[in-house]
Structure 1
């Protein structure tokens, strides 16, 4: 009943003001009601089947596993941890706002409860939904995304874990250490797991972290761009993984040891530049170039921009409201496409709609939930200027409508 009322109220924000009194019309014209409500509706729609089933120990029994040809036996070993870890990595900042006596706050409480119940099922060896943290190579990736969620929501996720679940979680994360990461962005996955263990008060492996950081400094190509390994790859992995994890790994380290402050600031400046480039990639229509691998992560391609907006560290001249408007356009373009969800509400492989051939061999249903990382600014309160500012044109929309623009510069 509450969910129906919440969505009904969200819909009211878009009702024509011509039929409302002047005072009420002024209220419903506020853009934050429309955009924030839409973002929350999108997030909860994506989250519902994953968390509802996992919290009841029914994820493996219920979740479909769509994959590319020839992967139908391999991907079910990994897809469930993918779905859970990636979903929480994007959902965590919003959950970190905590429960409050408002419609949105009560909705958050519902999902906080589901997240904790799901985590308990995921790491309990006796659970029917005990997830794979150490068999094959893939689990270190999604142990890292789950770890990232703990880093992003320390008060509401990490610190509220029940004692038994905490013990199980620590063992699960430690188990992923048997996996040797590829010589690429995967080094950051091992490092992020160590950051979660550090934040949980457990012994952590400084060598895994130092190695990942040093190699990524070696792979920096300039102007906010890292190689994915020694070579540059023209894809969105600077956003899917590299910038967000580098920023949060060094922030966690800095909070533990102030000597990492200089490195953190260097990495943050590069991330700010990359976020500025990403803002310029969004077309006036809310589309973006379908370049590189893993396009099935949809608007998760903008995690780097979303994170810098969430951190309130946007480069000078980029307004929070223009980023909100740009990201909203991208989210609507990707999520409103027909057949994005199956009949039971699970995401289907695709970039814009259901496009099975766009999935690589490592892509399956669970992989797709990385899209939620494009929603990180939901961790900003509804009163923040990101949400309260009037809708604004973003850079490409200004440029293609003939508006005057300042020059763009490399760092």
Structure 2
């Protein structure tokens, strides 16, 4: 159910439509504004940094919508509140002062919004500020320059503050800017890709963080720092050629990684590309990506009844939240509204919306250890080697599964005891015959080459698994070469379906197939190791895309001490397109596996030299 104050019939076709949506999103929060305060209190749950800072975060994230409106020549309806709140929050003498920041402080994150506002909307903002009030704002933001912060995308927050200082005529610190850019250079991987800090994941923070902020910098600092701006644009151009594969024809993006509650921030990169006039695709293509993505999100039940964005993914779901997700955190999605800073006559808004360009059916991204597969009405990704070292909740589910899907999402773990709680979709789970399950987490080795991804992982010190993930047409084949010093139970899952309507299930000695009138999800055993088809129902609210219980097709088996070869084939998509006869075959001989399916075949080595 969508709230009445968020227009369901907004076609989101033009600039006025998007401006109307942003005002509705902002106005839904305005009843929670407090007189003479500089914070917004939306709910009675909080993040690890406490309620006061969480309320300051809520206010600050609304500015990602306010600023493009101002830059585009429009004031939000509650503009006077925003002005007064910024004055109060940055005034050390005011009772609601936002305070002095500490190392690794969440308030440094939120300062980026003020940097952008000062850069592109300082005239309508600062016209209401006295010289003393301007000084308070500058002094408060200046705290970001040399404070200790996490060594990741956070380095861009002080940079955007300096950009704001430069454009509004406040004193800036070039040395601090250089320091933060130098830190990020250490984890540039090449071909447009960063990791989110040394040895950390390549997730949506690369698009909605590094490149989003980098393109803003490239646009606003081109005259001051031309060489760096050229580099940032070149890297973003390379990245765009990969990132376009994360979006399905209907506007959905692959759900993967942490911070998914930021929702339509998944498309923030494309808004920044339009803002920076990055000529990587036709303006109509970029416009289509942004607007289809927003339209897809407005079809999801992502709001509370009062029109406030909930924490969750496609529906309210605190179970999937990180410990830094507060009630206002989802409003970082407003970063995608940056295109409103472009005038009506800009080529982005003048262009006719175009569909996605033709793309190869299978696209490999070695720097991210990912392969994207464009199946009819189903975009999915196989991946290996990503692990969030901070061990945020459900790290394995969000980063370490074998596959992620725009259509079937993925389930998060509700507990280690009991297979139904252990998030078995797109995973190989193992148990010491006690119903406590564990799967892939850290990978000791990862290689992406020849249209497949190899990884080595150890769920226990004396259990080693070499895994190959191999897209074959619309099928996903997994080969596991496993050496174990302990007796184990194993369970391997395919993609999950919503359990309403109840799927028809076909279980046999080597397969599990679930069908509804519209969707089919299947997994087949292709190896000699006997495994039996089963179905598991996960708890409600465990799948990110649907609140119903998820039904997962599984292969179950037992493993004695020794060496084992497990091969499975997975398929999911439109029921009318499912053809069991097209299932790949595995031919095992002379230390190799040859995978064959109609016109596709690939070789996988699995013995002592797996790579």
Asked if 1:298 is matched to 2:263, the reply is yes
Asked if 1:130 is matched to 2:86, the reply is no
Report the Cα distance in structure 2 between the residues aligned to 1:239 and 1:204, rounded to whole angstroms.
27
How far apart are residue 221 of structure 1 and its match? 1.0
Matched position secondary structure for 2:189:
strand
How far apart are residue 210 of structure 1 and its match? 0.7
How far apart are residue 319 of structure 1 and its match? 2.0
Gaps of 5+ in 2: 362-373, 377-611
Paired position in structure 1 for 2:43: 64
Report the Cα distance in structure 1 between the residues aligned to 2:314 and 2:326, rounded to whole angstroms.
16
Q: 2:290 aligns with which of 327, 332, 345?
A: 327
> Does the 8 A contact of 2:261 with 2:312 survive in 1?
yes
Residue pairs, 1:172-187, within 5 angstroms: 172-177=140-145, 179-187=147-155
Q: 2:58 aligns with which of 76, 83, 105?
A: 83
Asked if 1:208 is matched to 2:181, the reply is no
How far apart are residue 177 of structure 1 and its match? 4.8
Q: 1:273 aligns with which of 232, 238, 245?
A: 238
> Does the 8 A contact of 2:118 with 2:168 survive in 1?
no
Aligned length: 360
Q: 2:118 aligns with which of 150, 165, 187?
A: 150
Report the Cα distance in structure 1 between the residues aligned to 2:312 and 2:355, rounded to whole angstroms.
27
Report the Cα distance in structure 2 between the residues aligned to 1:290 and 1:194, rounded to whole angstroms.
33
Report the Cα distance in structure 1 between the residues aligned to 2:298 and 2:82, rounded to whole angstroms.
23
How far apart are residue 209 of structure 1 and its match? 1.1
Query: Structure 1 residues 85-94 or 209-218, which shifts more?
Result: 85-94
Name the one with the larger strand percent. 2
Report the Cα distance in structure 2 between the residues aligned to 1:117 and 1:342, rounded to whole angstroms.
27
Name the one with the larger helix percent. 1
1:74-124 residue CA offsets vs partner (Å, 9 max, x unmatched): 43132223223222134423311224xxxxxxxx36354443233233323
Report the Cα distance in structure 2 between the residues aligned to 1:58 and 1:397, rounded to whole angstroms.
50
1:270-306 residue CA offsets vs partner (Å, 9 max, x unmatched): 1233234333321012111111111111011221211
Query: Structure 1 residues 267-276 or 59-68, which shifts more?
Result: 59-68
Paired position in structure 1 for 2:17: 38
1:23-67 residue CA offsets vs partner (Å, 9 max, x unmatched): xxxxxxxxxx84434322321122124456547335647432534
Paired position in structure 1 for 2:196: 228
1:107-156 residue CA offsets vs partner (Å, 9 max, x unmatched): x3635444323323332345564334515611111112321232232333
Paired position in structure 2 for 1:343: 305
Gaps of 5+ in 1: 15-32, 100-107, 403-411
| Aligned CA distance change for structure 1 residues 176 and 49 (closer, same or farther; 3 Å) | farther
Asked if 1:48 is matched to 2:27, the reply is yes
| RCO comparison, higher one (Cα < 8 Å, 6+) | 1
> Does the 8 A contact of 1:93 with 1:379 survive in 2?
yes
Report the Cα distance in structure 1 between the residues aligned to 2:231 and 2:30, rounded to whole angstroms.
37
| Aligned CA distance change for structure 1 residues 398 and 253 (closer, same or farther; 3 Å) | closer
> Does the 8 A contact of 1:279 with 1:323 survive in 2?
no
Report the Cα distance in structure 1 between the residues aligned to 2:82 and 2:118, rounded to whole angstroms.
11
Matched position secondary structure for 1:118:
helix
| Aligned CA distance change for structure 1 residues 116 and 277 (closer, same or farther; 3 Å) | farther
> Does the 8 A contact of 1:86 with 1:146 survive in 2?
no
> Does the 8 A contact of 1:81 with 1:131 survive in 2?
yes
> Does the 8 A contact of 2:146 with 2:176 survive in 1?
no
Higher Cα radius of gyration: 2
| Aligned CA distance change for structure 1 residues 111 and 380 (closer, same or farther; 3 Å) | farther
| Aligned CA distance change for structure 1 residues 55 and 384 (closer, same or farther; 3 Å) | farther
Q: 1:98 aligns with which of 65, 70, 73?
A: 73
| Aligned CA distance change for structure 1 residues 86 and 161 (closer, same or farther; 3 Å) | same
Q: 1:367 aligns with which of 329, 337, 340?
A: 329
Q: 2:347 aligns with which of 369, 378, 385?
A: 385
> Does the 8 A contact of 1:82 with 1:366 survive in 2?
yes
> Does the 8 A contact of 1:240 with 1:301 survive in 2?
yes
Cα root mean square deviation, aligned: 3.2
Following superposition, which runs of at least 4 residues in structure 1 exceed 6 angstroms of deviation?
A: 396-402
Q: TM-score, normalised by structure 1?
A: 0.76
> Does the 8 A contact of 2:262 with 2:332 survive in 1?
yes
How far apart are residue 373 of structure 1 and its match? 0.7
Report the Cα distance in structure 2 between the residues aligned to 1:267 and 1:164, rounded to whole angstroms.
36
Matched position secondary structure for 1:221:
strand
| Aligned CA distance change for structure 1 residues 335 and 76 (closer, same or farther; 3 Å) | farther
| Aligned CA distance change for structure 1 residues 236 and 159 (closer, same or farther; 3 Å) | farther
> Does the 8 A contact of 2:72 with 2:340 survive in 1?
no
